[in-house]
């Protein structure tokens, strides 16, 4: 009887093996097959897991009433484990464990000073992936979360996964470690008296940063006023209490997060997340992880928003149909950065090989009983320091490349969430795929499903 079913129907399994559909090739007329016969047919077609019983019942009782294609089996998708990350002490310093979800970290601008010996944060380990099952019974391997090696930062020490301050200072949380830096504080606006600032620690400005000035920090930058067309660069995070009005000039770049009340004609780039409370207007905004503009207004109008994992806004575009673009996936400058990392890795390896050869020659001379001259002893010490630096450089470049590869393998899992209104003339990009929104929608979620950009209206 299976042959008779095969004359009328075929089974199509999705590329990811998580769904199987029955497709009608010819009208079945009055032919009917039992539930058991359908099960045998599906088994013969390799579909053995996740059978949807109600759909098999429907097609066995009255195949002519079914709308085809009909999903007949659904697998269990593999779960990807969460990546390891740094959790600062401020996340839960005033709450008991279990109450941390009530803390709104997006409102935290001023991080208090710590004293020597204080707990500053900890590494949360990566989670293992959970295996799934395809409709043919095959086990689908889940990906483990990306891990990293926790190392002590500037003025910090490790006890297991916990990080403690060695000296007093201000905490700067970075991707793979925590630093405690001295603080450079300006009690007012940046002006000609202060000039540009390039500091090895954290910078706090209790006023505004006018156009043309530059602030560079090895740690974090905190501005309690407005940033105009200035240049801000921090290896940690950048916090701006007011907002940014840049007139398409200047730039703001952070190795970690960027927090601001609003962005107007700004150019911002964050290694991790961008948090904006009110609005992003005609700005170029790029994040290595996610972009959030979901405060009271939460509107994004004009310009371009680019994130690897998630973009979450209240309102996308406006009633004037201002062109607005959203990009999910690999950041625009990632190809350039990947080449730079590959070049740095190669350079570090070549340098390590040269220095290792020099060290071996000097050590061989010592073994043979010939003493080293004072000049050679200095050369040996410098060679050892250079070798250590090259190894650190190669290790950091290799870890960053691994992280970029991990991200590039998961670009299809990104989402765009619009909590209130998605207007027309908004361009959506998932890698090489593009979808232009021509109709306004309420509460939309946009994702990439089976080779297409899918828009789901709540």
Residue 400 CB partners (closer than 8 Å, separation 6+): 341
17 with 41, same domain? yes
Backbone angles phi, psi at 419, to 5 degrees: -80, -25
**CATH code for position 383:** 1.20.58
Lowest mean pLDDT among 68-82, 211-225, 349-363: 349-363
Instruction: Check whether 360 has a pLDDT greater than 90.
Output: no
Q: Report yes or no on 54 lying in a domain.
A: yes
Domain count, the chain: 3
Q: CB count, 10 Å around CB of 273? A: 21
Lowest mean pLDDT among 223-232, 237-246, 378-387, 412-421: 378-387
Distance CA 365, CA 218 (A): 42
Question: Which of 368, 389, 408 finishes a domain?
Answer: 408
Q: Report yes or no on 430 lying in a domain.
A: no
User: pLDDT at position 373, please?
Assistant: 79
- Give the pLDDT band (50/70/90) at residue 100: very low
58 with 130, same domain? no
52 with 132, same domain? no
- Give the pLDDT band (50/70/90) at residue 106: very low
Q: Report yes or no on 147 lying in a domain.
A: yes
User: pLDDT at position 273, please?
Assistant: 93
90 with 164, same domain? yes
Q: Report yes or no on 200 lying in a domain.
A: no
Question: Which of 391, 408, 425 finishes a domain?
Answer: 408
- Domain region containing 395: 334-408
Average model confidence (pLDDT) for the chain?
Answer: 86
Q: Is the pTM of this model over 0.75?
A: no
Question: Which of 22, 55, 74 finishes a domain?
Answer: 74
68 with 90, same domain? no
90 with 176, same domain? yes
Distance CA 387, CA 392 (A): 9
Per-residue pLDDT tens over the stretch 113-128: 788 999 999 999 999 9
70 with 157, same domain? no
Q: Report yes or no on 25 lying in a domain.
A: yes
> Nearest Cα to 129, choosing from 109, 113, 145, 111?
145
User: pLDDT at position 404, please?
Assistant: 66
172 with 89, same domain? yes
Q: Report yes or no on 125 lying in a domain.
A: yes
Q: Report yes or no on 129 lying in a domain.
A: yes
- What is the average pLDDT across 331-350? 72
Ramachandran assignment for 160, one of left (phi > 0), alpha (psi -120 to 50 degrees), beta (any other): left
User: pLDDT at position 335, please?
Assistant: 56
């Amino acid at each position: 009887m299976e042959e008779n079913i095969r004359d009328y129907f075929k089974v199509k399994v999705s590329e990811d093996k998580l769904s199987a559909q029955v497709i009608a090739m010819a009208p079945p007329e009055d032919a009917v097959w039992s539930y058991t016969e359908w099960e045998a047919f599906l088994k013969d077609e390799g579909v053995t897991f996740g059978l949807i019983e109600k759909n098999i019942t429907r097609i066995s009782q009255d195949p002519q009433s079914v709308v085809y294609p009909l999903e007949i089996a659904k697998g269990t998708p593999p779960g990807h484990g969460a990546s390891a990350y740094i959790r600062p002490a401020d996340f839960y310093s005033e709450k008991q464990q279990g109450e941390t979800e009530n803390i709104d970290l997006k409102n935290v601008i001023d991080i208090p000073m710590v004293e020597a010996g204080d707990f500053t944060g900890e590494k949360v380990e990566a989670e293992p992936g959970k295996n799934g099952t395809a409709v043919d019974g095959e086990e689908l391997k889940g990906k483990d979360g990306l891990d990293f090696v926790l190392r002590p930062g500037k003025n910090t020490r490790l006890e297991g996964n916990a990080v403690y301050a060695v000296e007093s200072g201000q905490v700067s949380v970075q991707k793979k470690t925590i630093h405690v830096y001295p603080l450079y504080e300006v009690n007012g606006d940046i002006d000609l008296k202060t000039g540009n600032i390039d500091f090895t620690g954290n910078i706090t400005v209790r006023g505004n940063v006018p156009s043309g000035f530059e602030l560079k920090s090895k740690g974090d930058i905190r501005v309690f006023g407005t940033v105009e067309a200035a240049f801000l660069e921090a290896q940690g995070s950048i916090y701006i209490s007011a907002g940014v009005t840049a007139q398409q000039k200047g730039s703001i770049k952070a190795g970690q997060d960027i927090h601001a009340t609003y962005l107007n004609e700004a150019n911002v780039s964050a290694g991790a997340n961008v948090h904006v409370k009110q609005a992003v207007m005609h700005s170029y905004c790029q994040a290595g992880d996610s972009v959030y503009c979901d405060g009271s207004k939460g509107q994004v109008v004009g310009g371009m928003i680019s994130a690897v994992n998630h973009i979450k806004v209240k309102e996308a575009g406006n009633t004037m149909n201002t062109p607005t673009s959203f990009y999910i996936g690999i950041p625009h400058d990632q190809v350039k950065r990947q080449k730079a990392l590959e070049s740095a890795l190669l350079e570090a390896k070549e340098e390590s090989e040269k220095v290792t050869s020099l060290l071996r020659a000097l050590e061989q001379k010592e073994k043979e009983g010939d003493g080293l001259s004072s000049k050679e002893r200095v050369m040996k010490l410098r060679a050892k320091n250079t070798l250590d630096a090259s190894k650190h450089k190669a290790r950091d470049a290799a870890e960053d490349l691994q992280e970029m590869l991990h991200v590039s393998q998961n670009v299809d899992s990104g989402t765009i969430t619009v909590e209130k209104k998605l207007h027309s003339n908004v361009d959506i990009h998932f890698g090489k795929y593009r979808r232009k929104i021509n109709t306004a929608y309420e509460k939309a979620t946009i994702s990439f499903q089976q080779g297409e950009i899918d828009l789901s209206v709540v």
